[in-house]
Structure 1
Amino acid sequence: MPNDKAGEIPPHQNTQRICREIKALRKAKRLTLRQLGERCGRTAGYLSQVENGTVVPSIDSISRIAEALGVETNWFFPATTGASDAEAAIVVRNQGRRRISHSYSFDTQELGYQDFLLSADLTLDLIMGMTRLEPGGKSRGVPTKGQGHFCGFVKTGRVNLTVGQEQFVLGEEDSFSFDMTIAHDFANAHDDVTEVVWTVTPAHLDF
C-alpha cells in the first residue's frame, strides 16, 4: 500500500482502521470529500484514496485532517495498549475513551460539560456516548433543534431536561427518549456531577 511519507504512521498501528476512522468521522460530521479537502489542504481524490485504504496518510496529513474535523490527532491513535485488532473494533476500555465534544462547533468546557465516545467507532448507524455535566453545566443554555433520535440514561446525579414545552428533573437510573427535531436542552442545576449515557441515531456529530 503506498505511503505519502512526511512522517510515517508507527508500525504497530492498524492503518486500515485509521483510514476507516477518517471516513467515519467525516460522514458523522456530514462533510463531503471536497469540503474536507478545502479545510485540510488536500484534494478530494487524495482523501478518497485514504478512505479506501489505497494510500496510507502521513502523520502530517492525519494531523491536518484531524484539525479540519475538529479533533486531536490522537483521535486516530486511541489508547488500546495490549488490545487485539478484534477487541479494538468492538470494546472501549475506560482508559481508551475518546472525547468527542472537541469536535463540536462551540466550546462545551465553557458550558460546563464534556462528551465522550462509548462506541468503538463511528461506522454503525448509531453512536453511544456519555455526557459529564459539572454542577451548573448546561448543553447550550437555550433549547436547540437537531436531527435524529436521542435516548439517554442517567448514570449518576440529576439532570434538568427540557423537550419542547415540557420540563423534567431526572434522577439516577431514569431514562428518556425524544425526537431531536423538537427543541431540547439539558442542565445540571444541582450540587453533584451528573453523568448521562446516551445514543443518537442516525450517527452524526455535526453539533
Structure 2
Amino acid sequence: MEDFHASASFDLQGADLRALRKARGLTLTALAERVGRSVGWLSQVERDLSSASVDDIAALARVLDVATSSLLALGGGQEAGRIVRADNRRPIGNRNPGLTEGLLSPDLTDDFEVIHSRFAPGARLDHAVSRPTQEVGYVVAGHFDLWIEETLFHLHPGDSFRLRGDLFRWANPYPETCEIIWVISPPVY
C-alpha cells in the first residue's frame, strides 16, 4: 500500500470514486458495507458533501483494488477537471515492479481514461490478465513485448495496439525504458 499523510494537500475525488464503483458493478450499499460505513456517508462522499479520513480512503482503495492515489486529486482551482500539468499528474497503478503510471486525463469521470506508462528495463507482467475494457496503446519510446492471448508481438516506437477484454501479458526485456500512452474504457484505475 502507498504511504500518504493526512496533512498532505490531497482531496478525495467523489466523482472518481463513483466512476470506479460503477465500473466494478458495485452499488452504494455494497461498497458501504465492504468499507464498514453507511450508505448515506458514502453517497455524501461521492457528491463531495462529506470528507473521508485517511483510513476511509485506504479502505475504499483496497475494496476497489486501486492505488490510493487513484482516489486523490492534486491541486484544484480553475484548471481542475480541464488541465493536467506535467508536474501535477496523479500517479496511479504501482502493482508491478518497474512500472510507473500517471493519469493524463483530468479525472476518471469520462467514458475513458488516458494513462502514461513507463516500463523500466526488465519490468514484466508474468501472469496473463484480462480486463473488462477496450484499450488502445501507443508506443512513444523504447521497445515492448506484448502477448495477446498466446501471440507475441514485438512493438517499437510509433506502433499501436488494441485489447478488447483479451488475455494479455507484457515485458520490457530491453535496455531502455519503454513509454506507452494507453486509452482505457471504462476507467479501471
Q: TM-score range by the shorter chain?
A: 0.7 to 0.9
| 1:119 corresponds to | 105
Classify the secondary structure of the residue corresponding to 2:128.
Answer: coil
| Farther-moved stretch of structure 1 (142-151 vs 153-162) | 142-151
Which has the larger Rg? 1
Identity of aligned residues (%): 30
Q: Which structure shows the higher strand fraction? A: 2
1:158-203, CA deviations, whole angstroms, 9 ceiling, x for partnerless residues?
A: 00011123211111121111322x2211110100111110111122
5+ residue gaps, structure 1? 1-7
1:103-138, CA deviations, whole angstroms, 9 ceiling, x for partnerless residues?
A: xxxx312xx212221111000001111221111111
Aligned residues: 182
Distance 1:9 1:113, change over 3 A: closer
Map 1:1-207 → 2, pairs under 5 A: 18-53=13-48, 55-60=49-54, 61-62=56-57, 64-66=59-61, 68-69=63-64, 70-72=66-68, 75-78=71-74, 80=75, 84-85=77-78, 87-102=79-94, 107-109=95-97, 112-138=98-124, 140-180=125-165, 182-205=166-189
Letter in 1 for 2:42: L
Letter in 2 for 1:35: A
1:49-86, CA deviations, whole angstroms, 9 ceiling, x for partnerless residues?
A: 32234x322545555545554433694231x3xx633x
What is the distance in 2 between the residues matched to 1:167 and 1:73? 32
What is the distance in 2 between the residues matched to 1:49 and 1:185? 38
5+ residue gaps, structure 2? 1-5
Classify the secondary structure of the residue corresponding to 2:13.
Answer: helix
Letter in 2 for 1:116: G
Letter in 2 for 1:76: L
Contact 2:70 2:91 in 1 (8 A): no
RMSD: 2.9
Contact 1:67 1:73 in 2 (8 A): no
What is the distance in 2 between the residues matched to 1:28 and 1:192? 34
Normalised TM-score (structure 1): 0.74
Distance 1:92 1:28, change over 3 A: farther
Normalised TM-score (structure 2): 0.80
